[in-house]
Amino acid sequence: MKKRFVTKSTVSVSSLLVMAMLAACSTNNGTNTEQTQSAAQPESTAEKTKISYWSIDRHDMDYMQQQVDSFNATNTDNIEVEMKVMADNYNQAVEVAFASKQAPDIFRSGDFQTFVSKGYYAQLDSLLSQEFLAKFDGLLVEDIYSKDGHVYTLPNSGQFWRLIYNADLMEKAGYAEPPKTLDEMVDAANKITEQGKSAGVYGFASNFKNGSGFTRPAFASGSLSSATSHEGYNYQTGEFDFGMYRDIASAMRQIKEDGSMIPGAESLDIDPLRAQFAQGKIGMYVNHSSEPAVYASQFPTDIRWASALVPTKDGQMNGVTWVNAGGYLGISAQSDKQEAAAKFLEFLYGTELRAEYQEKGLGLSVLPYVSEVAGKPELAGIDGFLPTKYDGMYPVTPLSITDTKLEGKKFTDVFIEYILTGKPDLEEAISDLNARYAKALAAARAEGLTNIEANPSFNAASLQGTLGE
Average pLDDT, the chain: 90
Give the model's pLDDT for residue 9.
Answer: 36
- 468 band by pLDDT with thresholds 50, 70 and 90: confident
Fold matches, 15-156+325-349 and 159-324+384-469: yes
Decide: 80 and 33 in contact? Cβ < 8 Å: yes
Predicted confidence (pLDDT) at residue 16 exceeds the cutoff of 80: no
User: Count of residues for the chain?
Assistant: 469
pTM: 0.83
- pLDDT (tens digit per residue) in 102-121: 999 999 998 888 899 999 99
- 7 band by pLDDT with thresholds 50, 70 and 90: very low
* Spatial distance between the Cα atoms of 4 and 335, rounded to a whole number of angstroms: 28
275 dihedral zone (left: phi>0; alpha: psi -120 to 50; beta): alpha
* Spatial distance between the Cα atoms of 217 and 225, rounded to a whole number of angstroms: 12
Give the model's pLDDT for residue 111.
Answer: 84
Three-state DSSP state, 180: coil
- Cα dist from 426 to 218, 406, 422, 431, 432, whole Å: 15, 20, 8, 9, 10
54, β-bridge pairs: 84, 107
Q: Quick one: CA dihedral 26, 31, 37, 43, positive or negative? A: positive
* Spatial distance between the Cα atoms of 285 and 185, rounded to a whole number of angstroms: 10
* Spatial distance between the Cα atoms of 25 and 359, rounded to a whole number of angstroms: 30
Percentage, residues of the chain above pLDDT 90: 81
DSSP 379-393: STT-GGGS--TTEE-
* Spatial distance between the Cα atoms of 319 and 312, rounded to a whole number of angstroms: 11
- Cα dist from 436 to 68, 212, 215, 228, 409, whole Å: 50, 21, 19, 20, 9
Predicted confidence (pLDDT) at residue 328 exceeds the cutoff of 90: yes
Q: How many C-beta atoms surround the C-beta of residue 48 within 10 A?
A: 16
* Spatial distance between the Cα atoms of 434 and 440, rounded to a whole number of angstroms: 10
In sequence order, the 6+-apart residues with CB closer than 8 A to the CB of 58 are 85
* The Cα angle at residue 73 between residues 77 and 57, in degrees rounded to 5: 100
- 378 band by pLDDT with thresholds 50, 70 and 90: confident
Phi, psi of 191, rounded to the nearest 5 degrees: -70, -40
361 dihedral zone (left: phi>0; alpha: psi -120 to 50; beta): left
**Domain spanning 15-156+325-349: CATH superfamily:** Periplasmic binding protein-like II (3.40.190.10)
- pLDDT (tens digit per residue) in 56-113: 988 899 999 999 999 999 999 999 999 999 877 888 899 999 999 999 999 999 888 8
Query: Which class for 411: exposed (0-12), middle (13-18), buried (19 or more C-beta within 10 A)?
Result: buried
Give the model's pLDDT for residue 176.
Answer: 95
| CATH architecture classification, 159-324+384-469 | 3-Layer(aba) Sandwich (3.40)
In sequence order, the 6+-apart residues with CB closer than 8 A to the CB of 24 are 87
* Spatial distance between the Cα atoms of 89 and 41, rounded to a whole number of angstroms: 38
Element (H, E) at 99: helix 90-99
202, β-bridge pairs: 282
Best CA proximity match to 128, nearest among 118, 140, 111? 140
- 2 band by pLDDT with thresholds 50, 70 and 90: very low
Q: Across residues 175-200, what is the average pLDDT?
A: 97
Predicted confidence (pLDDT) at residue 261 exceeds the cutoff of 90: yes
DSSP 103-126: --SEEE---HHHHHHTT-B--GGG
Predicted confidence (pLDDT) at residue 435 exceeds the cutoff of 80: yes
Give the model's pLDDT for residue 34.
Answer: 41
Query: Which class for 267: exposed (0-12), middle (13-18), buried (19 or more C-beta within 10 A)?
Result: exposed
Question: Rounded to 5, what percent of the chain is helix, strand, coil?
Answer: 45, 15, 40
Give the model's pLDDT for residue 45.
Answer: 56
- pLDDT (tens digit per residue) in 394-425: 999 999 999 999 999 999 999 999 999 999 99
* Spatial distance between the Cα atoms of 126 and 120, rounded to a whole number of angstroms: 15
What residues does each domain of the chain span? 15-156+325-349, 159-324+384-469
* The Cα angle at residue 254 between residues 248 and 257, in degrees rounded to 5: 145
